[in-house]
Structures are given as structure tokens and as C-alpha cells.
Amino acid sequence: MRTVTQPDVIVVGGGIGGLAAANSLTRQGLTVRLLESAPAFGEVGAGIQLAPNCTRILDDYGLLDEAKSLGVVPDAMVMCDAVDGDELTRLDLRDLERRYGYPYMVIHRSDLHGLLLRACQRAGVELVNNAHVTSYENTEGGARVTLADGGTHEAGLVIAADGLHSAARRQFIDDEPVSSAYVAYRGTVPAEQPRVRSVDLSEVVVHIGPGCHFVHYGLRGGELLNQVAVFESPKALAGEEDWGTPDELDAAFADTSDFVRDGLPFMWREKWWRMFDRDPVMNWVHGRIALLGDSAHPPLQYIAQGAIMAIEDGWVLGEHVARNRAADGTVDWNAALTAYEAVRPEHCRRVLTTSRKWGELWHLDGLAREQRNVLLRARDRYDYAFTDWLYGPTALTPQEEPEMFTPIPLTSADVPEGRFVG
């Protein structure tokens, strides 16, 4: 009978977070086995935005040039009002790159996933498919996972990167995902469509409106236009099971600008994504079992940090492994995990709560919408007060975590007389 060597680390979940963590730890000289429940590795969805706090890590991994060749490095991020189409504010992303040292880029989610998968293959990560983990337990020397077929795997450390509906999260924390009542539709438009010629593919644009928003940007060197339409579902608010349906999509955007409405026929109408997050938790480490990525901190997507946080988690853990590894190669896992848990939960708590608040801000109506628009129009496009806490170098200790921004009250806005009629 063939003897299966026990790896140093088991990673559960072959999504972006799991692959990034496996790559990070393998770079530190550890042997890693990654267990994926699906029969093949792959990723669904369309575009994903990567801010400088992520491209900095990709550069450290030697993957940034490949990522840039697969994606688009845009010139600007623009925010418009979804109802009247007016531009509200913008970020100069080339100046932002000079400030933070790394680019803001957009890439197809499957391309990012494939890039990380290839990195793991080159690094020698043991990739195992059809391995559905149902339970976790600590052992005397590490941790063990049990599969749906009864098989087990053991290692010195187990990382649960098993997503929003994590079995590890259920076992150790036992909370439930929180529905936002919002739903996302996605779609890509090929370059030959007139729709693509009507937009500037060097810009990432978000149109924010009452109870809805619409995002578009170029992908794959301008070969595709990525579109995302998000709205609050009345059926979800009413407690109905069948919510987020295409008829609700059309109704939600009925009063938006011509440009936004003209994009709706290109959305994939047979598939939609209901938007859930979870309340922040600070206990990610349970013996030799550690949560990572969406199992620890699934966010709403309004500040585009979900996959980035997962990639940061793996990088931080890898750095603390390096700091707590003896000359003979043994890792002080207690010290490394303590350091990981000292910094990542608080950072991700900030991201989760800010994402919720940012979503509320995007979807205002009435006087509050007008107040928001006044404040956004007054913003200096080179003001980074609201991004410095997020886009700078990823903190390895609580002391390195930058201060949060100071919110500006909506009531401080001076709405011109006659602009709003209640």
C-alpha cells in the first residue's frame, strides 16, 4: 500500500483565497495539500477589481506582470448619478498608482483564479479534487478534516478557506449569513457590439441610484465590457423565496438614465447573485484550524475588497510563518496564528462595516441623495483621505494598521434651493 506523506498544511477550498494561501505558504518552504470539493478547478463570475493593496502582493509573488497582461490598468474611476447621468466625482488612478506604488487594475475573475492555480502548480502544491470536507477537529499534533466519503486528512495546520457557507464557520461559530436584500446581475459585452464603442474602456464607472447601481469597465485588454447591475429586491424585503428575478431587475432601473437602461439587455438573465455577508467576528483561530477569506469575513462588494482581503490573509499568514520558523524548518504555529489573529480580524471588521455603509450611501434617495451628490461634487479628485486606510501596505501588526477616515455628515451639505422638492 502506498504511504501518503502528511503535509505541513491543508487548505480547504480551491477558490481565490485558498489558492493564494496555498501559494503563500508553499513559498515559505512548507508542503501544502489543497482540497477542493468540485471535480475541477474553476471560477464563475466576470470582472474583479484589484486595488494597490492587492497588486502589491501579486508583485511580491512575482505575478503582477502576468496579471497585467490578462487584465486592464484603467486611467480613472468615475462615479455618476444613475438617474440624471451627471458625473459626481472621480479618482485619477495613474496618480493613485504613484501615491501607493502599485496599480489599480481590473481582471476577469477566472483569469485571476487561473493565474493563482498555475502559481500553485509551479510551486508544487498538492491539488486534490472531489474532496468535500464536512468536519474539522484538532489533534495532538495539528488538525484533521473528514470528507463526505469518510476519508480523512491530517496536517500541522488546517486553513478553512471554504467560503460563505463554510463548514468550519458553522462548526466553530455557528452564525448565519446576513441577507442584504440586494441582488447582482452580471454580463460581458464583446468588443464588436456598439455598446462597447459608446464607453471609455480606460475608466471604471459606477452609476449610483435609489436602491440600485450599475458598474462597467473593460476586461481582457478591451476585448470585453464587463457590466454589473445591483438592486434591492422588493420580493426579498417581503420575505418571498423567489427574489431577485429579471422582472425586478427591469423595474429597479426603470427611472435610471438611458445609458444605464441600454445596458440591461446584455445582462445574463438566467443567473443572478443574491448578496450576503456575515457580521464580523474576531475569533478566527481554533487550535490548529484557522479561518481565511470568505469563511472569516464575507463582505458586501461595495468597496471591492472581498477577494483582496482573502489574498491579504494568506500573505500575512505566510509572513508570520517566516517570522516564526526555526532553523530546522519547524514552525511555531501558536505564535504565527496568534500574530495572524491579532491583525486580520480587526482590519476585515473595518472593511465589512465600511462596505455596508458605502452601500447605504450609494443607494440613497430624496434629500439624502442630493446631499450626497453635493458632497461628492465638492471632493478634490486628488483627495485620498478615504483610501489611505485601505490601499497602503497590508499591516502585519496592529500597530501598522492606519487610522480610519473621518466620515463627512450628509447634513453638512448645502443643497441649492429648488434643487430638491420633497
Sheet holding 126-128, edge to edge: 126-128, 32-35, 9-12, 157-160, 289-291, 285-286
Residue 76 pairs with which residues in a beta bridge? 92, 203
Structure-block grid coordinates of residue 281: 467576528
In this structure, is the dihedral angle defined by the CA atoms of residues 157, 285, 304 and 230, taken in order, positive or negative?
A: positive
- Considering only CA atoms, which of 333, 312, 314 is closest in space to residue 323? 333
d(CA 329, CA 327) in angstroms, rounded, equals 5
Q: Is 41 helix (H, G, I), strand (E, B) or coil?
A: coil
Q: What is the dihedral of CA 352, 248, 228, 87, to 10 degrees?
A: -90
CB neighbour list of residue 83: distance below 8 Å, 6 or more residues apart: 209, 210, 255, 256, 257
Structure-block grid coordinates of residue 67: 496579471
Active site residue 217: yes
The residue assigned the cell 526555526 is 326
Structure-block grid coordinates of residue 340: 495572524
Contact 389, 403 (CB under 8 A): yes
> If 0-12 CB within 10 Å is exposed, 13-18 middle and 19+ buried, where does residue 287 land?
middle
Structure-block grid coordinates of residue 34: 489543497
d(CA 174, CA 256) in angstroms, rounded, equals 40
The single residue of 102, 185, 217, 340 carrying the catalytic annotation is 217
C-alpha distance from residue 314 to each of 19, 213, 319, 389 (Å): 9, 31, 9, 20
Continuous H helices in 106-158: 109-123
Contact 55, 72 (CB under 8 A): no
Which residue numbers are catalytic?
A: 217
